A and B are shown apart, each in its own frame.
Chain A
Amino acid sequence: MSPVARRRAAPKKPALDRARRSSRRPAPARSRPAPRGARPSPREDPSQPDLKAGLEVLDRVLDLVGGDADARYYDDRWITLRCADSRLYQPHAELTKAVSLRVALSGGRLGVATTTDLTPEGLRRLAEGAKALASVAPPVEGFPGFAEDVKGPTPSVPFSRRVLDEDLERLGDRLAGAFSVVEESLGPARISGVFNQGASLLAVANSRGLRRGFLRSAAQASLLTELPDRDPPVSGWSEGAHWDPAKVDLVALAREAVAATPRVAPRAVEPGKYRVLLMGPAVSELMGHLAWLGLGAHAVEEGWSFLVEGRGRSLVAPSFELTDDPFCSVGVPSSIDFEGMPHRARPIFHEGVAQGAAHDHLTASRAKVPSTSNALPPEAHFGEMGPLPLHLTMAPGDHDRTELLKELKQGIVVTRFWYVRAVHPGRTIITGMTRDGTYWVENGEVQHPIRNLRFTESILETLAGVEAVGEDRRCFADERAFTSPVLSPLVSRSFTFTSGTSF
């Protein structure tokens, strides 16, 4: 979220007892208290996320501008525990406080500046910098001024203090417990992955009186288990995210990755068209690309979005119901967009029919429609993509995994995709590779793993071919939960694989 950067599984208790018996790892000190004075308690730490303080900073910034402007205050605190070679490889903790400011001068001339220097002098330079840029900026076509606030309170979202309070060394113990589960099941496996948790505060204010903000928590984890002694190696993958870190159960994820790890080497399958079962991470990749290839107002304005011709038409299977839902309780809920507009849920595909594009205040004004509260941070490079939906949420189906495999009958299960790129944006044709668990299915049962395949396929055609949707509903947030889609696995009747690789 900072401008300077740019499952459900069986809820079992962590297998720490077994971890203690492991001969490879130090025993996790589950009950050992943190050493006195080693880490301040939250109350002792003077620097906690503070919405009121953030809004006060923004008021000072807006006073310094003295004209039309909007501003954002960010306070991001994140822990990232990166695992490789079956150990905690790169642990990372970060605190970033920053302000971004957008100034508008007459005629819609906009300048944007950001800073991490929140001293009076730093804020003064920020205001002067943004004004100086605006003074020479070419006018933005159709700029309507900054948004007036709307009626009603800022939607509340749940928050877990655990993301700020958890003892760092105990996080290491949680990982060790998950590793032990893998090793006890698979033997000499190689474990990789990441666990992120943290809090992000966003406050937004503008010169038309808007003052809103919220604090959110998030946790996200993925685990990769590999058996490197197979030729080629085989792997299993699990992943999940939630606003509540207690719901991101590392041991449960470890069990899931173990269950997904084949014990035999993969076989080659000829490229061609196959029926597919796309698991949640694979669906997530498709949704991310669909968003920027066609769901935003910029793509519509420039004429290359499928919505230009396709809005109001039936483009996908009726069973594929998609909304932009910032409040989904199993995801990472969000109150407002980066212009401070309160979020609201909105359909993307309803009964198969494509709905309207995502808008911010500017594009909504140009299109003469209300904002859909999808503004991105104006200071970020990716903000140039224009408004995008960040909380794509599928309606779950009613098929469990066994039933999805039965629906598939014969075909390929794809756990996740990798290095996906657009080949033909207007037709939503993308290419990429499968990764970390691709399987051959016959008679509704997994037969064996297969070597990875390259695909080139249209996202919309894949969604038009949806025949079944899974009941498993899970959040696949990115590392700081900037996007937090909630998705389910699905079966599609045809998917084109164009070549293979050797592993």
Chain B
Amino acid sequence: MVEDLLEAALEAAERPGVRFADVRYVGPRRYQRFAVKNGSAEALTDSFEAGIGVRVLRERGWGFAATSEASLASVRLTAKRAERLARAAERTTRKSVPFAEETELPKGRHFETPMREDPFAVSTEEKVRLLKESEAALHTHPSVRSGKASFTLWQEEKWYRSIEGASYRTRLTHVGGGIEATAVGEGEVQRRSYPTSFGGDFAQAGFEFLREMDLPGHAVECGRTANALLTAPSCPRGEMDLVLASDQLALQVHESVGHATELDRVMAFEAGYAGTSFVRASEVGQLRYGSSAMTIEADATSPGGLGTFPWDDEGVPGRSYPLVSKGVLAGFLSSRETAARQGLPRSGGTARADGWARTPLIRMTNINLTAGDRSREELLRGVQDGVYMETNRSWSIDDKRLNFQFGCELGRRIVRGELGELVRNPLYSGMTPIFWNTLEATSDRSTWHLWGLPNCGKGQPSQIGHVGHGAPLGLFRKTRIGGAA
């Protein structure tokens, strides 16, 4: 049935003047969200969707159309609409759209996320029981006005075919979960999350990932810390040494390196919405992005990563390559169009779409900061007077990815190499290359964690990307640190 739809779509799309066309049937795409808040079910949702998206490239323009109606007639109409849209695009330009060749196209390949325990086979009763237990334990003090525990489960089956003869089928499974306690005091609101904020940590894995997270075992500490933050002193202000925990450093990588090295942003194709980049296309091998302690790879092969996949949505194999090597810009995230524009021999394989109803965009894979050789304690020992920050609370960066300000849930003073008192509302700010050039060291592999971020927004209509970031702890010298209040 699905094969018939794919065939019908490609046949309808392949009209005179069409250089390339591909089709993705996505379904079922299942999304389950379970959230318990203050003992009540805030969300118990099970979403099922399916649909087909057709993309067409004529000489001077792309067209994309999608439908949730899985009939042959609807699919043919959709393919024709894609082709009509490509004609509409051609009416706005005389320039050709370049498109990179790919020599390792999949032919009849298949991939499934390896897992020990299918998350959709675990009973709803057990999921709810785990969440209720975790959430109840957050309420350690009357100040904890809100407790929340959540699981998010996502599974997508995809059939891909192109007129080049590429074909594959995948079933990817992503899971995530976390807890958060919100404490309210006199004019103060503090939140503490585990294992990190905004829904917790995510991975390409089965339910075993959520069991190993042990949310119930961390809830009491979470609630206590939220309450303690209400009366903690404000974070000191000034230019000080900063140690970022792995989860915050992962987000720093995401915002100031991952997005900045997306070639569509570099080429100003995202100027009207997501923004561009301070990085220029000509600066590979030249731009001093950071210190020599900074090496970052785009790795679509990291086991368990949210940015791990065998082939992207243009049929290009996912792979690993450097973006920043010992502080120097080494490459970009690219698609087949942008790679050709850049003169690269092939795409970086990072074009991914959010489901059947969206066109592929350049998305991060797993953008990983390489670990160093110091233990956590050795890293802290290098700080006489500074601040340690953990778990993002707010993030903001300009549209060229230069000026940033990040707030964290938790701060601690570092005095003579030891972690000291809790401080509230910590934040730090800076300019991307200046900040990364103050990176003195990263901690060792034992502190490195591959975080899953399921909420990367980009594109119009909006798309939510699932990406990964591996990071250890990082020591940054003389950073601008402040407190919100």
Chain A residues near B (Cβ < 8 Å): 3-6, 24-26, 28-29, 38-40, 45, 47, 78, 80-98, 109-117, 122, 125-126, 129-130, 132-134, 136-141, 168-169, 171-173, 175-176, 179, 190, 192-194, 196, 222-224, 226, 228, 302-304, 378-379, 381, 383-384, 418-427, 429, 431-433, 435, 452, 454, 456, 479-480, 498-503
- Are A304 and B184 touching (Cβ within 8 A)? yes
CB closest chain-A residue, reference B73: A46
Minimum CB–CB distance from A159 to chain B (whole Å) comes to 21
Q: Which of chain A's residues have a CB closer than 8 A to the CB of B68?
A: 4, 95-98, 116
Q: Which of chain A's residues have a CB closer than 8 A to the CB of B359?
A: 90, 92
The one of B62, B94, B125 in contact with A136, judged by C-beta atoms closer than 8 angstroms, is B125
Of all A-B residue pairs in the complex, the 6 with the closest CB atoms, nearest first, are A172-B88, A192-B272, A87-B93, A91-B85, A501-B403, A172-B91
Q: Which of chain A's residues have a CB closer than 8 A to the CB of B427?
A: 423
Q: What are 16 sample pairs from A and B whose C-beta atoms fall under 8 A apart? A: A84-B270, A87-B61, A90-B459, A116-B48, A116-B68, A168-B88, A423-B394, A423-B427, A424-B425, A424-B484, A424-B485, A426-B188, A426-B189, A431-B405, A452-B398, A454-B405
Once A92-B85, A116-B68, A426-B189 are accepted as A-B contacts, the answer to whether A172 and B92 lie under 8 Å apart by CB is: yes
- Are A418 and B275 touching (Cβ within 8 A)? yes
The one of A85, A96, A134 in contact with B268, judged by C-beta atoms closer than 8 angstroms, is A85
Q: Which of chain A's residues have a CB closer than 8 A to the CB of B275?
A: 418, 435
CB closest chain-B residue, reference A305: B189
Q: Which of B17-25, B76-84, B166-174, B409-417 lies at the binding interface?
A: B76-84
CB closest chain-A residue, reference B88: A172
The answer to whether B314 has its CB under 8 Å from any CB of chain A is: no
Q: Which of chain A's residues have a CB closer than 8 A to the CB of B403?
A: 433, 452, 454, 499-501
Q: How far is the CA of A25 from the CA of B88 in the complex (A)?
A: 12
Q: Which of chain A's residues have a CB closer than 8 A to the CB of B87?
A: 168-169, 172
Once A179-B92, A500-B403, A502-B402 are accepted as A-B contacts, the answer to whether A384 and B461 lie under 8 Å apart by CB is: no
Q: Which of chain B's residues have a CB closer than 8 A to the CB of A431?
A: 394, 396, 405, 407
Once A418-B275, A423-B407 are accepted as A-B contacts, the answer to whether A168 and B85 lie under 8 Å apart by CB is: yes
- Are A88 and B461 touching (Cβ within 8 A)? no
- The 8 A CB mask of B33-73 against A (1 = contact, 0 = none) is 10111111111111111110000000011111111110000
Minimum CB–CB distance from A379 to chain B (whole Å) comes to 6
- Are B88 and A384 touching (Cβ within 8 A)? no
Minimum CB–CB distance from A179 to chain B (whole Å) comes to 6
Once A87-B61, A91-B85 are accepted as A-B contacts, the answer to whether A26 and B91 lie under 8 Å apart by CB is: yes
Interface size range of chain B in the complex: 35 or more
- Are A418 and B461 touching (Cβ within 8 A)? no
CB closest chain-B residue, reference A39: B84
In chain B, positions 182-208 with a C-beta closer than 8 Å to chain A are: 182, 184, 187-189
Minimum CB–CB distance from A123 to chain B (whole Å) comes to 11
- Are A94 and B461 touching (Cβ within 8 A)? yes
- Are A479 and B462 touching (Cβ within 8 A)? yes
Q: Which of chain A's residues have a CB closer than 8 A to the CB of B187?
A: 426-427
Minimum CB–CB distance from A459 to chain B (whole Å) comes to 14
- Are A125 and B48 touching (Cβ within 8 A)? yes
- Are A427 and B485 touching (Cβ within 8 A)? yes
The answer to whether B320 has its CB under 8 Å from any CB of chain A is: no
Q: Which of chain A's residues have a CB closer than 8 A to the CB of B61?
A: 87-88, 91
